[in-house]
Amino acid sequence: MTGVRWLNPDERQAWLALYAVTTILPGTLDAHLFRQAKITLFDYHVLAMLSETEEFTLAMSDLAARSNASLSRLSHVVKKLEQRGWVVRCPSASDGRVTTARITEEGLNNVQLLARAHVEHVRQTVFDALTEDDVHDLERIGKKILARLDESHWILDQPSPGARS
């Protein structure tokens, strides 16, 4: 095969490490949340995205973008969260053609309680092993890769709170 740009040994090691993290980490976080509240990491992420908005509401399309999901997958999860009383769907006040999702008071209370254990688990699993420079590098590298995958991803527009000049 000509023209193949094979990975050099350093790139191969970096790729294998990234691959392992991207396959093992979600399952670890998922299992922890399931033990805590019988929800998945994706369920939690949807709740967290809603809890971080001013009015605890997002258009389903915006929520899909923020949770990296198709509208179909998101709709299924929001339905499950509605059945628990943690989310409600309703037409947008500004455009009746748009469906919004809003976290309920019960959902907000639950995600706030879960956040403590979840963030501690994320800290122990990921950040306790990193230096401050590693954290900045992780963000920088993650955003570079993400820009190649989805140049319009909403996180790319977010400022880095601890950005170094």
pLDDT tens digits for range 61-82: 999 999 999 999 999 999 999 9
- 135-162 confidence digits (pLDDT tens): 999 999 999 999 999 888 888 888 877 6
Residue type present at position 149? L
Decide if domain 25-118 falls under CATH 1.20.120.330. Answer: no
Give, to the nearest 10 degrees, the angle between helix 105-125 and helix 9-37: 140
Q: Mean pLDDT, to the nearest integer, of 84-108? A: 94
Helix (H) or strand (E) holding 28: helix 9-37
Question: What are φ and ψ of residue 129, in 5° steps?
Answer: -90, -5
How do the domains of the chain map onto residue ranges?
25-118, 126-156
98 within 8 A of 64, measured Cβ to Cβ = no
In the sheet that holds 87-91, the strands lie side by side as: 57-59, 99-103, 87-91
Q: Mean pLDDT, to the nearest integer, of 107-114? A: 96
Region for residue 69 given its phi and psi (left: phi exceeds 0; alpha: psi -120 to 50; beta: otherwise): beta
First to last CA, the chain: 43
- 4-41 confidence digits (pLDDT tens): 999 999 999 999 999 999 999 999 999 999 999 999 99
- pLDDT score of 164: 53
- pLDDT score of 101: 97
